[in-house]
Amino acid sequence: MGNYFVCSKTDPIVETKAGKIRGFRINTTYTFHGIHYAEADRFQMPQPIKPWTGIKDALSYGYVCPLLKQDEPNMEVLVPHRYWPQNEHCQNLNIWTQSLDPDAKKPVMVWLHGGGFSAGSSIEHVAYEGDHLSEFGDVVVVSVNHRLNILGYLDLSPFSEKYKNSANAGNADMVAALEWIHDNIANFGGDPENVTIFGQSGGGMKVATLMNTPAADGLFQKGIIESGVYEACIYQKEDGDGTEIVKALLEELKLDASEIEKLETIPYYELANAYNNVEKKVAAKGCYIGQGPLENDWFLGNPIKCGFTDHAKTIPVIVGSNIGEFDFGPVVPGKHDMNREELITFLTRKYADATPELISLFEKAYPDKSIADLWSVDTFFRPATIEFIRQKSEFSEAPTYSYQFTYEFPIDGGKAAWHCAEIPFVFHNIDRVAVCNVPGETDRLQERMTTAWINFARYGSPETPSLPKWPASTPGDEATMIFDKTCEVRHNFDHKLVKKLSETEFNPMTPVVENEETDAFFIH
C-alpha cells in the first residue's frame, strides 16, 4: 500500500498562541517542521515569538545552531547523519502527532539532541525522525533546536550586568521551548500536563540540568537520560566564571573590556575562529571555557554534585548507558575467531597486571559476552550513572529506573553497543540505520525498547508484558534492565568491575582515543 500525503491551503492548519501554521500529513502522521518558539538577541535571554497574521508554513526544518568547527562525515554506517544550514536564530522545533484534537491529551515526548552543549541539532541523526515513534506509540513527539557553544554558554557577566545569564542562554532556549509546548501542544493533540523530556549524551545532560532549573519546574513531568550522566554534566572540566576566556577572546580580537558589546555584532565565524584560537590555552589552566551551563541563581548546578532540588526529587526518571560507548573503531577485529589465550594476550596490552582480575569481574558482570568486550567497557558515563541512580533513588517521591544497552552488532566480527547505538531502537527507526537490522533480533529488541519508553511517557513506568518485571532502583540495589537479544534485570551487576576499571591505569602504549577525537564522537 502506498503512502497518502495531504498538504492543502486548509489542511492541516493549527492555531498557536502567536498565529496559524500549516504542516503536512503522511498517512496518519501530522508533521510540522521549523516552528519558531522564541527569538533572542545574541547572548540575551529568549523572548516570546511575535504574533503574525495569515498562515505560516511549517514545511521545512529550521536553521540549526552554527558550530565552532564544521563536521566531517565519519563512521556514517554506525551513526548516519544529516547536515543542515546554520544560523544563530535557531530557536525552532519540530512536531509529529497522530491527532490535532485539543481534547486528545496524548503523552508528549520532547527530544533534546546530543553534542554536549556545543554541537549537534534536532535533525543531525537520521534516527532522530519522530514519525515512527509517534505512530507506533500514539504519542506527540517534539524535537528542539537551541543555541549552543559560545552563542548559548559564554559567560560575559563579569564584564556587564547586561549579560547576567549569557552562560545559560542555551538552556534558557530549552525552557522557552517547554513554555511554548505547555501553551500550544494541546492543539497538536498533546497533554501539556504529561510531558517527558528525553535525550542522549549531551541531550541527557540537558535533561539533568533542566531538572535543577527552577524556571523549568512544572513544564515537564518525567525525564529519560541516555548516556548522559557525566561528572560535570558537561564534557570539559571547568572552574570559575567567564573572566579568563572572555579576556583571551577580546585580546585575540584586539578589543578591550570597554568594547565588550562589539561581541554582539562580530560575524559569528570570526568570533568562532577567535574562540578556537584561545580555547585550549584557557582550558589548560583549568578555567571555565563557556561550553556548558554555569551554576548561578538561575541554574542550581549538576544534581550529583549540588544535590537534587525539591522539585527534581519528584521527577520519575529512566537513566542508563551503553556497554561500549566511545569504542567506535574495530578494536578487536574477529574476536569470535580468537581463542581465550589470544584474547588474554590482547587485553594484557591494555590492562597489564590487572588483566586477570578484570577478566574475572567482567565474566561475572557479562557472563554471555566474549572477554574481548572488556576492552570496550565504558568508564566515561557508567561510574557517574551509577552514582546518579544511587542518589536519585534515595528519594521516595518518584521512581528511578536503570538500564544498560548491551546488544552486539554484526559489524567487524561483532561490535559492542557504541555511543548512540540505542537511539534507532528508542525512536523505532532501525529501518533507517542499516547496521541495526538483524531479522528476528533487532526488530524484537526495538519493539521492547520503544514500548518501554512510550509506557514510561504515558504512565510513569517502563514496564511492558514483553519485558521481565522492571523494578525501580533503591540506594543499595540498582535494578538494571539489560536490553539485548534476551532482556533481563540484573542487580548491581557491574559495580565491582566499573570500580576496578576506574582505578586501573591503562597501558600508555594502548591506542586510547585522544581528546579531540573523543569530543568529535561525543558530539555525534
Is the domain of 335 the same as that of 423? yes
Grid cell 500514539 is found at 138
279-334, pLDDT tens digit by residue? Answer: 999 999 888 898 899 999 999 999 999 999 999 999 999 999 999 998 755 566 67
pLDDT at 240: 78
Is the domain of 188 the same as that of 336? no
Is the domain of 518 the same as that of 390? yes
Is the domain of 212 the same as that of 343? no
Average model confidence (pLDDT) for the chain? 93
pLDDT at 332: 66
| pLDDT at residue 450 tops 50 | yes
206-258, pLDDT tens digit by residue? Answer: 999 999 999 999 999 999 999 999 765 554 445 679 999 999 999 999 999 99
pLDDT at 73: 77
Grade residue 86 by pLDDT with cuts at 50, 70 and 90: very high
pLDDT at 40: 98
Q: Which of 366, 369, 324 shows the shortest CA–CA distance to 343?
A: 369
Residue 441 lies in a domain: yes
pLDDT at 515: 37
Is the domain of 219 the same as that of 330? no
Domain encompassing residue 210: 5-236+295-315
Is the domain of 113 the same as that of 10? yes
Could you tell me which residues come within 8 angstroms of residue 187 by beta carbon, excluding any fewer than 6 positions away?
Answer: 14, 15, 16, 100, 102
pLDDT at 232: 53
Q: Beta strand pairing status for 5-6 and 24-26? A: antiparallel
| pLDDT at residue 420 tops 90 | yes
Is the pTM higher than 0.85? The answer reads yes
Q: Using only C-alpha atoms, what is the Rg of the chain?
A: 23
pLDDT at 329: 56
Residue 252 lies in a domain: no
| CATH number reported for the structural domain that contains residue 359 in this entry | 3.40.50.1820
pLDDT at 330: 53
Is the domain of 327 the same as that of 309? no
Higher pLDDT among residues 108 and 74, named by residue:
108
Last residue within a domain, chosen from 266, 287, 315:
315
In angstroms, the CA 272 to CA 3 distance is: 44
Is the domain of 228 the same as that of 323? no
319-372, pLDDT tens digit by residue? Answer: 999 999 987 555 666 788 889 999 999 899 899 999 999 999 999 999 999 999
Share of the chain above pLDDT 70, in %: 94
Residue 251 lies in a domain: no
Residue 141 lies in a domain: yes
| pLDDT at residue 394 tops 60 | yes
Residue 283 lies in a domain: no
Is the domain of 108 the same as that of 172? yes
* Dihedral of the alpha carbons of 471, 131, 17, 121, in degrees to the nearest 10: 80
| pLDDT at residue 512 tops 60 | no
Provide the grid cell at 367. 557472563
Grade residue 522 by pLDDT with cuts at 50, 70 and 90: very low
Is the domain of 366 the same as that of 310? no
Residue 437 lies in a domain: yes
pLDDT at 511: 45
In angstroms, the CA 366 to CA 377 distance is: 10
Alpha helices in 337-381 (DSSP H): 340-351, 355-365
Residue 285 lies in a domain: no
Residue 245 lies in a domain: no
Is the domain of 231 the same as that of 328? no
pLDDT at 355: 97
13-54, pLDDT tens digit by residue? Answer: 999 999 999 999 999 999 999 999 999 999 999 999 999 999
Is the domain of 183 the same as that of 331? no
Instruction: State the sign of the Cα–Cα–Cα–Cα dihedral 178, 179, 180, 182.
Output: positive
Domain total for the chain? 2
